[in-house]
Chains A and B, each alone.
Chain A
């Protein structure tokens, strides 16, 4: 195959696109994690479970509306809302009493919650593999650069990713609640002293973060089999991304997701057997040179 731009081979370009579509999912989930970590100071290990619940809810909603196109769009709207409801219940019943506790305790709490959610999913949906079909508008693939297939659904992800990123930026920078959350992340006592109900701010941020986890779950569902255990694989990657990018920094989450997604897909070209090592090597390198993460953390 001839090179594009004279020097980049089409294989590398198509791998970059593949990596970027993985980045989108990682970014959506880890930005939620980062928000919760930055503003509420909660290391939410249950984030992966909410992602899994989002995927299972997408299956249920999609089935309710007959599978196919309608099913997918309804799932995209309803499933993250469902996850938001679950997280609201968790927040009001558990977390709102624990914001002043130390991080290790919160870590253990969210870890326990992730185990509980995992079993709840097993009770509600059973152990079977589920599958959410790709909506017919996104089925099939495009032949990139002469012969390398790229699924249309991945293109959809590549479009949705920046949209979500822009919406998040607008939310955190241009809305009142966004500005208050950023202030609360820096100094929650001061925000409380000014007369703002910090508890409700925290609840809102928590729900938005969990909504993002659910959204990630819905978006990934058509590409994988929806099973128990999805939570464990993702939470490890999400935490590493958040640590790499800077705790609490949503743009850090974007940068971390980019690094993770791209090093994995390009690593496969270099050394297929050990393609999975590259993102973790990148984490090691980043932390060696910038232990607090690439971008400024809010802690």
Chain B
């Protein structure tokens, strides 16, 4: 029995190796494999990415596809587990023979897949994962980051916060990689821009912490001027609710990356706290340009809800894929990658460029503060300051020096 199963395994392995080595068939479609988390609290974000992507794909396919080929896509749920995500990515490439990979909201999975696609030379578009290692330490030719990373978000926030009069800062957040990365991104850059700021203390709570009252009372007792709150996911809403319940938002101003996003403010309705500072890459109501209005209308018609940042990531990824092949002129991986470098496309938030040196998409960042608005059932960002992508992205030298050559 044992020898039999070993033999079976060996022949399966041999066959799959042969399949990989055979030349890729000239399919009639361009296949995109999406690995993402569709289980648990992250689902609210990843559904946006998928819907935005689907919307663009429908449009592209309706107008003839890319070089006569239609875009086909398939999704795999990694359940926020890197080992599952990597296995799914391998299955998509080796068995489903996808041309392009896309995903994921989990940075650990993204980095694992990045190593894999580097060897397999499959273009990989990152949506939502925010680790700065994606383009820096672990960056390479085949990876494209379609969203901001923690270092960029930190810089943008620091640019805005350095103009404010606060001096004594407290840093608090979720005790995991994302929380620490955001906090460090903001703090290190703020200290560079405004050396007079002081860190009076730090608090870290477990990811998924639901009861912030004990931490908030501790922070209030230290009387800082401002708090940098590094929460992610459902921690955003939990913290804002606790801030309102304890009156923190009226006592000490604080900042969270994505505090002003619809995904955080909409569930709370009129009960969200006012006066919270936040950075975000997309609002459906700002900028009020024809492009944005058209995108919002299309999305609403298709999905009966307002688009959020994930939708923009998915939508633009599809557009760039289409344009990349069109510019390359043929279905050739290497020409496709080269065509994308430095490409600029129109988008609902203006012209977006994929930077040539590190394949980072340069999105504008909006720094604003939450405020009630009679037109909407939820709070929106007000006093919006736009920070252009090129102003808050680390320079090419800084990014590339992290890469081992």
Binding site for B on A (CB under 8 A): 11, 14-15, 18-19, 21-22, 67, 118-119, 122, 126-131, 133-134, 139-141, 147-151, 153-154, 220, 222-225, 227-229, 233, 264-265, 268-269, 272-273, 275-276
Q: Is the interface of B mostly helix, strand, loop or mixed?
A: helix
By a CB distance below 8 angstroms, the chain A residues around B245 are: 134, 139-141, 151, 153-154, 223
Interface string of B168-179 (1 = CB under 8 A from A): 000000010000
Contact flag A228-B217 (CB < 8 Å), given A130-B267, A151-B245: no
Question: B267 touching A225 by the CB < 8 A rule?
Answer: yes
Q: Indicate whether B322 reaches chain A with its CB closer than 8 angstroms.
A: no
Question: B271 touching A134 by the CB < 8 A rule?
Answer: yes
Enumerate B201-254 residues with CB–CB distance to A below 8 Å.
202-206, 208-211, 213-218, 220-221, 234, 236-238, 241-242, 245-248, 251
Question: A18 touching B214 by the CB < 8 A rule?
Answer: yes
Q: How many A-B residue pairs have CB under 8 A?
A: 133
Question: A18 touching B217 by the CB < 8 A rule?
Answer: yes
By a CB distance below 8 angstroms, the chain B residues around A11 are: 217-218, 221
Q: How far is the CB of A15 from chain B (nearest CB, A)?
A: 6
By a CB distance below 8 angstroms, the chain A residues around B268 are: 131, 133
A226 to B208, CA, bound (A): 12
Between A15, A122, A228, A269, the greatest number of chain B beta carbons within 10 A of the residue's beta carbon is seen for: A228
Question: B214 touching A19 by the CB < 8 A rule?
Answer: yes
Q: Indicate whether B47 reaches chain A with its CB closer than 8 angstroms.
A: yes
A18 to B213, CA, bound (A): 7
Question: A223 touching B211 by the CB < 8 A rule?
Answer: yes
Question: B271 touching A233 by the CB < 8 A rule?
Answer: no
Inter-chain pairs besides A18-B213, A122-B39, 20 sampled, C-beta below 8 Å:
A11-B221, A18-B211, A21-B213, A128-B267, A129-B44, A129-B267, A141-B247, A148-B217, A149-B246, A150-B217, A223-B211, A224-B234, A225-B236, A227-B41, A227-B44, A233-B208, A233-B210, A269-B218, A272-B202, A275-B215
Contact flag A22-B211 (CB < 8 Å), given A141-B245, A149-B248, A228-B41: yes
A94 to B213, CA, bound (A): 40
Between A11, A21, A67, A223, the greatest number of chain B beta carbons within 10 A of the residue's beta carbon is seen for: A223
By a CB distance below 8 angstroms, the chain B residues around A140 are: 245, 247
A140 to B208, CA, bound (A): 23
Question: B237 touching A265 by the CB < 8 A rule?
Answer: no
Question: A223 touching B210 by the CB < 8 A rule?
Answer: yes
Question: A149 touching B217 by the CB < 8 A rule?
Answer: yes
Q: How far is the CB of A121 from chain B (nearest CB, A)?
A: 11
Question: B269 touching A67 by the CB < 8 A rule?
Answer: yes
Question: B214 touching A276 by the CB < 8 A rule?
Answer: no
Q: Can you show 12 pairs from A to B with CB atoms below 8 A apart? A: A11-B218, A21-B213, A127-B44, A131-B269, A147-B221, A149-B248, A228-B41, A228-B43, A272-B218, A273-B175, A273-B203, A276-B206
Question: A129 touching B234 by the CB < 8 A rule?
Answer: yes
Q: Indicate whether B263 reaches chain A with its CB closer than 8 angstroms.
A: yes
Q: Which of A128, A264, A273 is the one whose CB lies under 8 Å from B44?
A: A128
By a CB distance below 8 angstroms, the chain A residues around B210 are: 220, 223-224, 233
A224 to B241, CA, bound (A): 7
